[in-house]
Homo-oligomer: A and B are copies of this chain.
Amino acid sequence: MGVTIRDVAHAADVSVATASKGLNGKGRMRADTRERILQAARELGFRANRNASSLTTGRTYTVGLLTRDGYGRFTPQLLGGVEDALSADTCSLLLCDARRDAVRERHYLDSLTARRVDGLIVTGRATDPAPRVGRDLPFPVVYAYTTSADPRDTSITVDDAHGGWLAARQLLRQGCRTIAHLTGPRSYRAVRDRVEGARTALAEHGRELPDDLVVYGQFSEDAGYHGARALLERRRDLDGLFCGNDQIARGAADALASVGVRVPDDMALVGFDNWTLLAASTRPPLTTVDMNLYQLGRVVGETLLRAVDTELEPGVRRLPCSIAVRGSCPAGPGDDPAWAGDAPLVPDA
């Protein structure tokens, strides 16, 4: 309780300055002196007060994480990546949940400024461009998953088009000829990107995804259930279904089961999110796109650390997805020589 560098210096019989150098491994000094200092520090249980050192060094080794709309299902993975990246520089994360409240957000920004954080990560539930978090903040800011509407900011997010492309490619590999897409609200950029990606994949194989086979709705099991039933009635020839997320896919799987359509034999199914809890216990287990959020978190963390002494590159960077192949659409790349040149799929993590 309250052992300072003075106590250490005194115990090691050196000056405070020498103690400081010794403890931080800076400068040159006799090995035994350093050892004496470290020894004393150890015995006294000395922990340098970082608030004091940050006063002189300018660095706090703390970065803020501001979420605008709570901690969602995606946050834990992202957070894990961020923490791992930051821990390489012994940085800590200060958590701020603004809850869609501008006043609260302003308040947190002030607090982070007062704490002189080394940087800030802004995150949110949707990839859509959102209002920037404030102008002239005295620290670098990186948007993670969510993106800033201002092109001068730096955002790192998921390449949803790539995800959609992967999903459609997987259905094609499975041999599907008529593919439909059941997804969330069209107002989400992620939704539109995934559609676009799926269309690209189909086009690459001389197929298409006509508008009437893209059904926008809600990101929920219910929507998946009813959406799938409606689609089935309308189009008896469907043999592939790409769902906008795993909840929809789960609902769709239930719907298919309820009318005796076998997965994957009669209809192959691909989801999105690789939300293991849901995907793995769907019957059959769900093949689903993984947004690699842990990796996203790592890249965001590393980018922010780099920003401490380098300028941030403005713009939006989109990181690729991968796909977890399970029973609902099990095709592997080797099943068909036509896919021989393909990049390997990433197995279930």
Contacts and interface: CB of A to CB of B under 8 A. Distances in A.
A33 interface: no
A131 to B, nearest CB: 20
Nearest to A251: B281
Contacts of A220: 281
A150 interface: no
A115 B79 contact: no
Quick one: copies of this chain in the complex? Answer: 2
Given A50-B115, A52-B55, A222-B281, A92 B95 contact: yes
Interface in A28-75: 47-52, 54-55, 60, 62, 65, 70-72, 75
B221 A110 contact: no
Given A138-B1, A222-B281, A247-B281, A92 B115 contact: yes
Main secondary structure of the interface of A (DSSP, over half): mixed
Interface in A281-300: 281
Given A51-B60, A71-B80, A83-B95, 11 more contacts: A47-B110, A49-B114, A50-B114, A50-B115, A71-B79, A75-B76, A83-B97, A92-B95, A93-B94, A247-B281, A251-B281
